[in-house]
Amino acid sequence: MAGTRDVIILGAGHNGLVAAFYLAKAGLKPLVLERRPVAGGCAVTEEFFPGFRGSTLAHGGGPIRAEISRDMKLAKHGLHMLAPDPRLFAPAPDGRALLLYGDAATSAANILQFSKKDAEKYPHLQKTLARIAALLDRLLTMTPPEIDNPTTGELMHLLMTGREFRALGRDDMFRVLRWGPMAIADFVAEWFETDLLRAAVAARGIFGTAMGPWSAGSTAVMLLRAPADGNPTGGAAFPRGGIGAMTQAMAAAATAAGAEIRTDAEVAQVLVKDGKVVGVALASGEEISAKVVVSNADPRRTFLKLLDPVHLGPDFVVKMQNYRCAGNLAKVNLALDGVPQFSALENVGASAAALAGRIHIGPEIDYLERAFDASKYGKFSEQLYLEAAIPSLSDPSLAPAGKHVMSIYVQFAPYKLRESWSSRRNALGDAVVKTLAAYALKLPEMILHRQVITPADLEEHYGLTGGHIFHGELALDQLFTMRPILGWARYRTPLDGLYLCGNGTHPGAGLTGQCGANAARDIIKDVKR
């Protein structure tokens, strides 16, 4: 073989870079292999029209966990996070505007125009989520326990978690137990009476999933995301320079710690001998030996494409073949000639600065459910649930003077479309613009260029099996001790020396870096042992 390494990491996405950093800090010499020309995976900034740069896929930080950011000294390596306020703008069909802020009292003052009752309950929900998030945070940072034979350390960790659970008090304990299996539509109905506010909060439980607001377990997804930000509707953090600035800072930190990153290095196969991983073979024909291989690719790609299934047990292969990872999200990037004029903002006298956070298009629960219904039958709705951002309002470096970039997540765009995505790409773009134009009438005439990225593109160009941005469905049967599958949720795999560190592992959601940090911690333990 051409060379020998302590550790090879497949994929320079954010989790792979976080894992590389911690492994390098532990004295190992990780080599990160990235198939694309730039590190970052799905968190990259690219020019999609002359002079216009944007976060091609993900546009907001997870946010990255504070301790990971501190350990990696990301600020020192050039990361500067922008946190616009209000965090969320949601236009109502009747012309009113819902503006939600980081401060619960300020949000309540805006909610008052819709409902006095909701204005009183919103701060209460924010405080409740903050209390519960502290407990959930412990679960997100731990390795899921061995079901059959937990170690003493795991039992102690679970005991401490149980004590923290008891410390929540009777009301919050019952809430956690009851909320997990609930549909997010039922959850928000217990708190609020305003349709738009219900939909804005419910959106956090269905984003990036194949679930609608009436799907059981969608509240668990919202709770999974609460530790990253206790605000009921989530955060609004954008790196200066686009999301790629975050992964470039991570790459710099990993390199400074001793890792090596090679781009344009596509791995064709993980090499196995006598039930143990011995290295990788690149698409170029080069082979590199390694004691440990860590895959930041999704589980199905790792086990069913990069590995010959003959090395895996038939039961494991069948379970992996049935691991759900059909994506339901597309992305549209717009180069604009100016700032879109949303009539709802003009009606309340708010400035364009209110558009600097996230823009929620989905006025009621039934609207979101209908959009989901279409996806179940291989279609996308003509009235789409959208989450948009105009990052150039806070970061003028992304577009020419007076111009702007608009980044739009398109929810419920199914990977398994009845027709081919190549034939429906423009139709999806048209539906997005039409949906936005209902709230910003002049938007269509401001568009200089439109980039449409379908779930098929996510699979072909970014290596996401099924086009799933989270490497697998965030459902109750694919979380914690069952992520990716029961019995293999501890970053280890059936093959000695092969590990997972991507979003297909626990905890699995968002650009927090926790999957990579958790995996690195366990790999270091195994290597030392």
**pLDDT for position 3:** 65
**Does a structural domain hold residue 138?**
yes
Domain co-membership, 205 together with 283:
no
Domain co-membership, 149 together with 174:
yes
3-state secondary structure of 470: coil
**CATH number, domain containing residue 23:** 3.50.50.60
Q: C-alpha 153: how far from its chain's center?
A: 30
Question: DSSP labels for 259-271?
Answer: -EEESS--EEEEE
Domain co-membership, 253 together with 210:
no
**pLDDT for position 325:** 96
Q: What is the DSSP letter of 302?
A: I
**Does a structural domain hold residue 198?**
yes
**pLDDT for position 181:** 96
176 Cβ neighbours under 8 A, 6+ residues apart: 132, 135, 165, 168, 223
Q: Which of 199, 228, 257 is the last residue of a domain?
A: 228
Q: In this structure, are residues 266 and 462 in contact, taking their beta carbons and an 8 Å threshold? A: no
**Does a structural domain hold residue 96?**
no
**Does a structural domain hold residue 335?**
no
- E strand residue ranges, 140-181: none
3-state secondary structure of 506: coil
- Residue 504's domain comprises 3-39+66-79+243-323+467-528
Nearest to 481 by CA among 143, 224, 161, 205: 143
Question: DSSP labels for 45-69?
Answer: EEEEETTEEEESS--S--PPPHHHH
Domain co-membership, 74 together with 135:
no
Domain co-membership, 181 together with 217:
yes
* CA pair distance 509, 504, nearest whole angstrom: 9
Q: In this structure, are residues 404 and 455 in contact, taking their beta carbons and an 8 Å threshold? A: no
Domain co-membership, 149 together with 124:
yes
**Does a structural domain hold residue 50?**
no
Q: In this structure, are residues 490 and 519 in contact, taking their beta carbons and an 8 Å threshold? A: no
Count of all residues that appear for the chain in the document: 529
* CA pair distance 220, 197, nearest whole angstrom: 19
For 161-208, what is each residue's pLDDT tens digit?
778 888 888 888 999 999 999 999 999 999 999 999 999 999 999 999
Domain co-membership, 268 together with 300:
yes
Q: C-alpha 13: how far from its chain's center?
A: 12
Cα angle value 387/391/397 (rounded, 5°): 160
**Does a structural domain hold residue 189?**
yes
Domain co-membership, 269 together with 182:
no
Mean pLDDT of all residues in the chain? 95
Domain co-membership, 265 together with 302:
yes
Q: In this structure, are residues 515 and 502 in contact, taking their beta carbons and an 8 Å threshold? A: yes
Residues of the chain with pLDDT under 50: 1
**Does a structural domain hold residue 149?**
yes
Buried b (16+ CB within 10 A) or exposed e, 93-123: eeeebbbbbbebeebbebbeebeeebbebbb
Q: Which of 228, 254, 271 is the last residue of a domain?
A: 228
Domain co-membership, 283 together with 253:
yes
Helix axes 514-528, 14-25, angle to 10 degrees: 30
Torsion 260-261-264-269 (CA) sign: positive
**Does a structural domain hold residue 418?**
no
Token pair of 117, please?
């009752």
Total tally of structural domains belonging to the chain: 2
Q: In this structure, are residues 39 and 261 in contact, taking their beta carbons and an 8 Å threshold? A: yes
Domain co-membership, 123 together with 221:
yes
Helix axes 365-376, 195-202, angle to 10 degrees: 50
Q: Which of 178, 203, 228 is the last residue of a domain?
A: 228
Reported pTM: 0.96
Domain co-membership, 193 together with 126:
yes
Cα angle value 369/370/376 (rounded, 5°): 90
